[in-house]
Amino acid sequence: MEGVMNSAIIISILATGIRLATPYLLAALGEMFTQRSGVYNLGVEGIMMMGAFAGFFATLHLGSPLLGIIASLIIGALMGLLMALVSVTFKAEQGISGIGLYMFGWGLSGLLYRLYVGGITSIDGLKEVKIPLLSNIPFLGPIFFNQNILVYTALALVPLSGFILYKTSWGLNVRAVGNKPEAADTLGVNVVRIRYECLIVGSMLAGLAGAFLTIGQANMYADNITAGRGFIAIALVYFGRWSPWGILLGSLLFSMADSFQSMVQVLGINFPYELAVILPYVVTIVALAISFGRVWAPAALGKPFQRGTRG
Amino acid sequence: MSSRSRGVFIQIVVLLAALVGALLIGAVFLILAKSDPLKAYGVMFTGPISDKFGITETLVRTVPLLLVGLGIVISFRSGIINIGAEGQILAGAIGAAAVAVSLPDMPAVLLLPLVFLAGGLSGAVWGGIAGWLKARLAVNEILSTVMLNQIALQLYLFLIRGPLIDPKEVSYGTGVPQTASIPQQIWLSRLIPGTRLHSGLIFALLLAVLVYFFLWRTSIGYRMRAVGAGPEAARYAGIKVEWYLILAMALAGGMAGLAGAVEVTGVHHRAIEGISAGYGFSGIVAALFGRLHPLGTIPAAVLFGALLLGADMMQRAVNIPAAMVMVIQGLVVLFVVSSDYFLKNPSFLTHLKAKIFGQKVDGEGGK
């Protein structure tokens, strides 16, 4: 192995790992806000599929991946609005409404793709942006500072989310609404509004996570391009115990394993393909098993808010 | 009308309204795509009921939908949201096929029950894993079943491409990923010659009645529903909640596993790629549409069997992708879970009517 594992390969694995962490990070940070406000959004996978298609389609026709990013944010917001209507206003059982949203997004992205695009079409996606000086640092430069803009965005969102959640009054309201909605309501916080906001912001980030897959990584769209990443992102929220830094750690563990796994295949190490592919899903279950369920969860998670009742 | 039959009537009206709502939103997407929704829906709804082929093929799709749906009813009623039926179908299909091809000379009277047992048990184990993870380690079952779906799919593909591939596919060099054909003596009999409708339909209908009696007429079923209604209260009443969670998931997985076994013995006569065909998700929709009642799931499974077939026909006739049916199913789920709110809050509808028509309307509606 010494001959194979030279530093160029290690740099490649780590740089790819940072890049692959992006969709997990974006979607999981979004879901963190949603769950912190007391709502499960289990439709993240469907929103990601819609974001992936919207980003791809806008880039294909408008010629600019930045417009693709905007399209994915808008579509994400609309999906979030739909989920909020069903889960917050109509107080539907959130696990089931999430499945509905997932199937809706899955079907609609596939439908629109077949109607408007049809065959395999590639696009000019996001380019790497070298950060001056920093990208010249040996070893660290190519790993951290030669990535596309969504990678930087996702990494920057980690401290930013922490700041918003713990240091702003809006973040305080979000945490209050997720833990003690009745008390928050008594103090004049608009529970329904905060939950709408969190669902929409979280869904926008999920849409962006989907767009990363098409315009930041594959430069094309394919059926089921998300491959369960939306659900893994939800699992990462549990694993990261509803904190941005925990989510970053989980995302990196995952993406590094992913990167290593694909490198094993590239290097032609003999291992059945199907068994390599199941690794992330097995790791997700193990991660959920060792994160001990609901101990750190927001107290009102999954409970629709009804004024005048005690949860 | 008695109050009970009126309740059923209102539920049917609400469900049909949900379906119509989903179809209307679907029509908007069709119009945006410059297709004629009337033509598309025309094919979709008349195709499955216009001839013997349509009706029998609808019922062929009804069988796995009903079996999966029954499993969903059991798990949802016990408070577990199982979306792992896709993986459980695959587990059942490969378990059934593996037993069937390895015992080619066994008489049908022994082999067929054995094959169904293998399919049911494989699905039950695959579902039971998620139940155990939830009961013992508090792992969210929605997430674990999604992961188990992906794992089952890859293991299934690995098996039908490798260890269990039809030796003929290897010797002819064609390499189609599928198992060998199962022995002919256990092919389920055709109910109508010249069609694919098989006796699995009768099996599924009998199971629906059985599940109804199990859930509402046995003490185990009663305890499972008590766990679903409120785990804390159930625990207080001395029910071993953890055990019933595992049992519910194992039974749900077993039903989906049987669906896999029925697809192998009744339709394909081997395990093929893509055998689960989305039934794991459509079965959830059928169960919800059947109001999570085993007997209500029967007509719902027929309806969604027709929708799935109609979508295929629509794709061929007017070139609307069959993905349309997934859009409609997703919307149906969203409408149905939202409709509970209106059923529980009739005053909301009254306010809405008053707002729209500018007058006071009797909140009860009908007699």
Mean pLDDT calculated for residue range B154-163: 93
Question: A107, B327 in Cβ contact below 8 A?
Answer: yes
Nearest CA in chain B to A287: B139
Which chain B residues are closer than 8 Å to A106 by Cβ? 326, 330
Q: What is the pLDDT of residue B350?
A: 66
In this structure, is the dihedral angle defined by the CA atoms of residues A172, A176, A177 and A182, taken in order, positive or negative? negative
Which chain B residues are closer than 8 Å to A85 by Cβ? 338
Mutate to test the interface with B, among A231, A234, A306 (most CBs of B within 10 A): A231
> A228, B150: Cβ pair inside 8 Å?
yes
Question: B280, B69 in Cβ contact below 8 A?
Answer: no
> A292, B331: Cβ pair inside 8 Å?
no
Q: Which among A97, A115, A238 has CB closest to B334?
A: A97
> B328, A281: Cβ pair inside 8 Å?
no
Q: What is the pLDDT of residue B347?
A: 65
Mutate to test the interface with B, among A57, A90, A277 (most CBs of B within 10 A): A90
Which chain B residues are closer than 8 Å to A235 by Cβ? 140, 143, 147
Q: What is the pLDDT of residue A42?
A: 93
Contacts of residue A243, defined as CB under 8 A and 6 or more positions apart, other chains included, come to A32, A162
Q: What is the pLDDT of residue A306?
A: 80
Q: What is the pLDDT of residue A52?
A: 97
Which chain B residues are closer than 8 Å to A47 by Cβ? none
Which chain B residues are closer than 8 Å to A111 by Cβ? 29, 33, 321, 323-324, 326-327
Distance set, CA A279 to CA A250, A273, B151 (Å): 15, 11, 8
Q: Could you tell me which of B262, B271, B284 has the C-alpha nearest to residue B204? A: B262
> A107, B326: Cβ pair inside 8 Å?
yes
Mean pLDDT calculated for residue range B218-235: 91
Which region among B113-122, B219-228, B341-350 has the lowest average model confidence (pLDDT)?
B341-350
With tokens 């409609």, the residue in question is B328
Mean pLDDT calculated for residue range B258-286: 95
> B142, A42: Cβ pair inside 8 Å?
yes
Contacts of residue A215, defined as CB under 8 A and 6 or more positions apart, other chains included, come to A55, A56, A59, A65, A68, A69, A123, A125, A126
> B143, A82: Cβ pair inside 8 Å?
no
What's the gap between Cα A146 and its chain centre? 21
> In terms of pLDDT, which residue wins out, B132 or A302?
B132
Reported for B190-196, long-range contacts at CB under 8 A and 24+ positions apart, including other chains, are B192/B52, B192/B56, B195/B52, B195/B53, B195/B56, B195/B57, B196/B56, B196/B57, B196/B60, B196/B267
Please give the structure tokens belonging to residue A72. 């994915």
Which chain A residues are closer than 8 Å to B342 by Cβ? 90
> B137, A275: Cβ pair inside 8 Å?
no
Q: Which residues of chain A have pLDDT under 50?
A: 1-2, 4, 310-311
> B81, A95: Cβ pair inside 8 Å?
yes
Which chain A residues are closer than 8 Å to B341 by Cβ? 90-92
Please give the structure tokens belonging to residue B301. 């499974």
Q: What is the pLDDT of residue B364?
A: 41
Q: What is the pLDDT of residue A290?
A: 84
Provide the residue ranges of all domains of chain A, joining segments of one domain with +.
7-290
> In terms of pLDDT, which residue wins out, B169 or A106?
A106
Q: What is the pLDDT of residue B357?
A: 62
Rounded to an integer, what distance in angstroms lies between the CA atom of residue B307 and that of residue B298?
A: 14
Which chain B residues are closer than 8 Å to A43 by Cβ? none
Is B6's pLDDT higher than 80? Answer: no
Question: B292, B73 in Cβ contact below 8 A?
Answer: yes
Please give the structure tokens belonging to residue B81. 């949201």
> A104, B157: Cβ pair inside 8 Å?
no
> B330, A114: Cβ pair inside 8 Å?
no
Rounded to an integer, what distance in angstroms lies between the CA atom of residue A292 and that of residue B29?
A: 43
B29 CA to chain A: closest CA distance, Å? Answer: 9
Mean pLDDT calculated for residue range B84-109: 96
A47 CA to chain B: closest CA distance, Å? Answer: 13
B191 CA to chain A: closest CA distance, Å? Answer: 33
> Using 50, 70 and 90 to split pLDDT, how confident is the model at B298?
very high
Which chain A residues are closer than 8 Å to B133 by Cβ? 285, 288-289
Q: For A73-84, b where at least 16 C-beta lie within 10 A, e where not — what string?
A: bebbbbbbebbb
* A222-265 confidence digits (pLDDT tens): 888 998 899 999 999 988 989 999 999 999 988 888 887 777 77
- Nearest-5° Cα angle at B276, B297 to B94: 115
> A227, B150: Cβ pair inside 8 Å?
yes
CATH 1.10.3470 fits A7-290, yes or no: yes
> B139, A82: Cβ pair inside 8 Å?
no
Q: Which among A103, A274, A278 has CB closest to B333?
A: A103
> A90, B338: Cβ pair inside 8 Å?
yes
> Using 50, 70 and 90 to split pLDDT, how confident is the model at B313?
very high
What is the pLDDT of chain B when averaged over all its residues?
A: 90
Q: Could you tell me which of A156, A67, A49, A21 has the C-alpha nearest to residue A109? A: A49
Q: What is the pLDDT of residue B116?
A: 97
Reported for A305-308, long-range contacts at CB under 8 A and 24+ positions apart, including other chains, are A305/A38, A305/A88, A305/A91, A305/A177, A305/A181, A305/A185, A305/A191, A305/A192, A305/A195, A306/A91, A307/A185
Rounded to an integer, what distance in angstroms lies between the CA atom of residue B306 and that of residue B53?
A: 12
Which region among A306-310, B54-58, B236-240 has the lowest average model confidence (pLDDT)?
A306-310
Question: A176, A189 in Cβ contact below 8 A?
Answer: yes
> A277, B138: Cβ pair inside 8 Å?
no
Which chain B residues are closer than 8 Å to A118 by Cβ? none
Question: B165, B88 in Cβ contact below 8 A?
Answer: no
Q: How crowded is residue B352: how many other Cβ atoms within 10 Å of its Cβ?
A: 12
Q: Which amino acid is at B323?
A: A
Rounded to an integer, what distance in angstroms lies between the CA atom of residue A283 and that of residue B151?
A: 11
Which chain B residues are closer than 8 Å to A271 by Cβ? none
> A238, B323: Cβ pair inside 8 Å?
no
Q: For A161-173, b where at least 16 C-beta lie within 10 A, e where not — what string?
A: bbebbeeeeebeb
A85 CA to chain B: closest CA distance, Å? Answer: 9
| CA max distance for chain B | 78
Cite the DSSP H helix spans in chain B. 3-32, 37-46, 52-77, 85-102, 108-137, 141-161, 167-171, 200-217, 219-229, 231-236, 241-262, 279-289, 297-318, 324-344, 346-357
Which chain B residues are closer than 8 Å to A104 by Cβ? 326-327, 330-331, 333-334
Rounded to an integer, what distance in angstroms lies between the CA atom of residue B207 and that of residue B70?
A: 8
Contacts of residue B35, defined as CB under 8 A and 6 or more positions apart, other chains included, come to A115, B318, B320
> A235, B143: Cβ pair inside 8 Å?
yes
Nearest CA in chain B to A44: B143
Residue B18 phi/psi, 5° resolution? -60, -45
> B325, A272: Cβ pair inside 8 Å?
no
